[in-house]
Amino acid sequence: MMMPHLMQAIIYGIGGYMAVYMLLRPAALLDAISTGPGMGKAGWAFHQKHYKLTYPVLGALLVVLGLAVAQVT
C-alpha cells in the first residue's frame, strides 16, 4: 500500500520542481506558454533550451510509470 503514496509524492515533487524552475527562470514560463502543447518544431526548441527542466521531469514520470506497472502486475 506504500506504492500509491510514493507515486503521489513523486508527482508532487515534479510539480514543485517545475514551479521552482519557472520562478527562477521566468523566460521558461513564457516559452512554455508560447510553445503550446505538442512536440513540433516549437516544442523541440523549448526542450533544447530548457533541458534541465524536461529531462528530470521525464525521468521522474518514467519512474512513476514503472511503479504503476509494478503495482498492477
Residues 68 and 60: beta-carbon distance below 8 Å? no
pLDDT the model gives residue 1: 61
Distance CA(18)–CA(15), nearest Å, equals 5
Neighbours of 53 (CB within 10 A): 19
pLDDT < 50: residue spans in the chain: none
Give the model confidence (pLDDT) of 17-32 as tens digits: 999 998 999 888 888 8
pLDDT the model gives residue 65: 94
What is the pTM assigned to this prediction?
Answer: 0.77
Helical ranges in the chain per DSSP H: 2-24, 26-35, 41-49, 51-72
